[in-house]
Amino acid sequence: MMDAVSLPPLEDLVRSARAVAVPMATRFRGVTVREALLLEGPAGWTEFSPFVEYDDAEASAWLAAAIDFGWNPQPEPVRDAVPVNATVPAVTPDEVPAVLARFDGCRTAKVKVAERGQSLADDVARVHAVRDAMGPEGRVRIDANGGWNVDEAERAVHALADADLEYVEQPCTTIDELAELRRRITRWDIPIAADESVRKASDPLAVARAGAADIVIVKAQPLGGVHRALEIVAAAGLPAVVSSALDTSVGLAMGTALAAALPELDHDCGLGTSSLFTTDVAAPPLRPSAGVLPVGRIAPDPDLLAAVAASPARTHWWIARLTRCHGLLAG
């Protein structure tokens, strides 16, 4: 429940709401078109874009984040640019160079693995194609989205140990599994990063207390906003990597605000994902240049808003979802 003083009236949200459907250049975790609802508050434009399969209880945290960013001042930044990684979907090895070419100057690549319907051999081939393209000084991390059990994850880490991995993100689903895997792979000295165990957990600090991860992945929208995410990072006491959830450029600006406010930023952030779209809502879009993103709010371009406007039926669906989530925040 949000404080009644901080929760704007529903009609204020609906008044500026614009539903968009942004096409992807490459299928990413089953998504070919990314839908979002953009809102304009007193502080600027903001984004409400929980994935369509999420229930209202989970989606309401994303609305809290959108309201926080659009209606409240944000923490003072300690940096004016954020280094970001390239993101490689579960593509074939021959598609890797074209994907990486969309991420100008990025020195780090995150590679999706454990895709449903694919094998460990597919993952190994993709990761090694990325390693070859990045060169020995490039950084390569993998993200399994909880797709392995402990034995599968251990085999995968063993098979990929020669790729000089920076870390493995959410290899297993549960905190107990992550802790067990962390014990098993100490000989390879590959850190474990927790994503879903932070952003989808009722207690986002449980994974840190259990000693089940070396790094926390934080995403502003799922965690309820920049202020809340900063509190979680401080309480976790672990290095943090700020990432996105396929946000448009408007939502990515929320991510850069979070990354810019972290006292320490030891790793490149996963905020370059606008490069996975064929177009965006801003001109120019918030995409990596020389491996970094500038920090600052983004306003959508009216012509692009019109070009990627969602259908009337999908707009109605998003407004109905907004209404239900607003009701949950109101208590």
* Residues marked as catalytic: 112, 219
Instruction: Give the Cα separation of 312 and 157 in Å (integer).
Output: 46
Place of tokens 């165990």: 197
Instruction: Give the Cα separation of 150 and 147 in Å (integer).
Output: 10
Let me know if 278 is exposed, middle or buried by CB neighbors in 10 A (0-12, 13-18, 19+): exposed
Relative to beta strand 108-112, strand 139-143 is: parallel
Neighbour tally for 73: CB within 10 Å: 9
Strands of the sheet with 192-194, listed across from one edge: 86-88, 108-112, 139-143, 165-169, 192-194, 215-218, 240-242
SS3 label, residue 218: strand
For residues 72 and 6, the answer to whether their CB atoms sit within 8 Å is yes
Instruction: Give the Cα separation of 143 and 170 in Å (integer).
Output: 6
